[in-house]
Structure 1
Amino acid sequence: MLAVTAAHAETVPVNGMNIYYEISGEGDPLVVLPGAYMTIPDMGAIIPMLAKTHKVIAMEFQGHGRTEDIDRPITYENLADDVAGLMDALDIPKADIFGYSMGAGAAIQLTIRHPEKVDQLVSASAGYDISGMQPAYTAFIPQMKPEMFIGTPMEDAWKKLAVNPDGFPAFVDKMIALEHEPLAWEAGVKTIKSPVLVIAGDSDVITLEHEVAFFKLLGGGVMGDMGAPLAASRLAILPATAHTAVINQPELLHAFIEPFLQGETPKSFMGM
């Protein structure tokens, strides 16, 4: 794993908490949003790869890593508003956004709730409706209990960076509650004007059918090579890839993300 060398790292007050963030690289701003239970280092090599061509602003969500937890539910709407607040605090009026898993859910909500702040969106391993979850996962959600996480290596890893090392049980309660949040964002997705790159593993927590439906809601899925321009949004499926393996393929992710952010489109042999 490549180390992230941050040009700037600190906390800033946003919505009643001190949010930790790191800035690395130079160029157009790109906000990176980690997944559930993840910190900036957990995003791995994709951050320094993107920082070669972008000013990457990576943040840690409420209760994650070096951002404190507060007396407030963890919801996708709250997380999205926190991203918007961080951008305001850092005087970033608009940026590209890359979110993975929970971070992608927050990014989708950011694009719906604060469209003026999002230039282009990269959504990796997320959906817009609970019906898009794999049946095996939706069946597992009611079985989630704090005891599954407390006293495990996950808690040990969480404590290493946590502002309050004793706060894990309360944090887990909020994260389990997030899993029970109703997802029904189709109407909001239909309002999105920003180009979106939808990324998923072929064995992800979101079904392939749902990711295709997501892509089609964004105007994608029509035939090329017929004279009409391709949709601004794109779809990329990683082969032999489960949910937690998506972020562990930085070279492949970068090969999809960078051309999208640069507006590069592959040329067909017909020259279109």
Structure 2
Amino acid sequence: MIRTVLMAAALLVAGPAFAEGPPAGARVEVNGMQVYYEVSGSGDPLVVLHGAYMNIPSMGAIIPKLAETRKVYALEFQGHGRTTDIDRPITYPALADDVAAFMDAVGLKKADVFGYSMGAAAGLQLAIRHPDRVNKLVAASVAYDVEGWQPAFREFIPQMTVEMFVDMPVFAEAYRKLAANPDGFPELVRKLIALEKEPMAWGADVKALKTPVLIITGDADVATLEHSVALFRLLGGGGMGDMGQPLPASRLAVLPATSHTAVIGQTDLLVAVIEPFLKGETPKGMFE
């Protein structure tokens, strides 16, 4: 159980990984918030969405790596990092709507999206609620139904308390370093615990998606492997190739020996599966 509590702590202490210093950031008004974001690189646009309790620096090396071939727009969600909080629950549909409004504010009509954990679920809702805004979606460590979480995590959710997180210095100290309101951490924790308890059953919506999705999961992730495969099948995957039919647009990648918090640190493996997906490249079989 304590390992699950430390899930976000491991991400928060991860330092930034910019070789020449971080790109200059900016703020834009989105749904009553001042949303902080950074733009780096050049090329086709890619919106990057972080996980719960995280921020842009704690995403580590993946953002600068993706910026080598893409124009990356990395934003910080409601109450996270340098983005202000508002009097509103944090829900996946609300986060998705925030991303769509952010894209309006910075002049992005459509973009590829890469989300991790909470950001992946927000990205999935973005594709469901605003399909015209998403070209391709990369969803790392995601579930579409509460039944897909590992049993140990589902059992732990009712035991989560605000005090549990506030009493861990690594959480509060990392929050204060960037937060617009240094005293706002307990309220953020309350909202994120409530998010864990929100109903989540998006199977029908996922099955109706036309957006290509790359599902990335660790083989010891917070979602079960069976759930990731079920998600892939809802998106049209899981059939046999080499039978004369084109492969589905969506894809599934399982990272070996990788827990939930380790997924975002597997930079080389992530890029190795993300880049071909975004470019539409597929390995050729012997019958092609």
For the residues of structure 1 that align with 2:120 and 2:30, how far apart are their CA atoms? 20
Shift of 1:2: 2.8
Supply the AA of the counterpart residue of 1:208.
Answer: L
**2 CA distance for matches of 1:8 and 1:171?**
26
Q: List, as ranges, runs of 4+ consecutive aligned residues in structure 1 with deviation greater than 3 Å.
A: 4-8
CA distance in 2, matches of 1:145, 1:151: 10
**1:139 paired residue among 140, 155, 167:** 155
Structure 2 unaligned regions, length at least 5: 1-15
Q: CA deviation at 1:255?
A: 0.4
SS of structure 1 residue aligned to 2:36:
strand
3-state secondary structure, aligned to 1:68 = coil
Identity among equivalent positions (%) equals: 65
The equivalent residue for 1:91 is: 107
- Corresponding residue for 2:127? 111
59, 64, 85: which one aligns with 2:75: 59
The answer to whether the 8 Å contact 1:108/1:123 transfers is yes
For 2:272 and 2:175, locate their aligned partners in 1 and report how far apart those are by CA, in whole Å: 31
Residues 50-104 of structure 1: CA deviation (Å, up to 9, x unaligned): 1011100000000000001111000001100000000000110000000000000
Counterpart in the other structure of 1:252? 269
Secondary structure in structure 2 of the residue aligned to 1:248: coil
Structure 1 partner of 2:18: 3
Partner of 1:160: 177
- The aligned counterpart of 2:48 is 32
CA shift for structure 1 position 194: 1.0
Q: Secondary structure at the match of 1:66?
A: coil
Alignment of 1:180-195 (within 5 A): 180-195=197-212
Alignment gaps of 5+ in structure 1: none
Report the TM-score, using the length of structure 2 for normalisation. Answer: 0.92
Is the Cα contact below 8 Å between 2:96 and 2:125 reproduced in 1? yes
What displacement does 1:8 show? 4.4
SS in 2 for 1:49: helix
Partner SS state of residue 264, structure 2: helix
- Cα distance per residue 1:216-259 (max 9 Å; x no partner): 00010110111111011000000111100000110110001011
Offset of residue 151 of structure 1: 2.9
SS in 2 for 1:200: strand
Measured in 2, the distance between the counterparts of 1:101 and 1:204 equals 10
Q: 1:7 Cα shift?
A: 4.8
CA distance in 2, matches of 1:123, 1:23: 20
| 1:165, distance to aligned residue in structure 2 (A) | 0.4
Preserved CA contact (<8 Å) 2:139 2:216: yes
Rounded to whole Å, the distance in 2 between the matches of 1:262 and 1:201 is: 23
| Amino acid paired to 1:143 | Q
Q: In structure 2, how many angstroms separate the alpha carbons of the residues matched to 1:171 and 1:122?
A: 26
Report what 1:210 is aligned to: 227
Task: Check if 1:201 corresponds to 2:246.
Answer: no
CA distance in 1 between counterparts of 2:140 and 2:269 reads 12
Work out whether 1:177 is the aligned partner of 2:190.
no
User: Structure 2 residue aligned with 1:240, among 257, 260, 267?
Assistant: 257
Give the secondary-structure state (helix, strand or coil) at the position aligned to 2:88: coil
Asked if 1:149 corresponds to 2:192, the answer is no
Report what 2:6 is aligned to: none
Contact conserved, 2:17 with 2:57, CA < 8 A, in 1?
no
Partner of 2:243: 226
Separation of aligned partners in 2, 1:82 and 1:197? 22
| 2:43–2:71 CA contact under 8 A, matched in 1 | yes
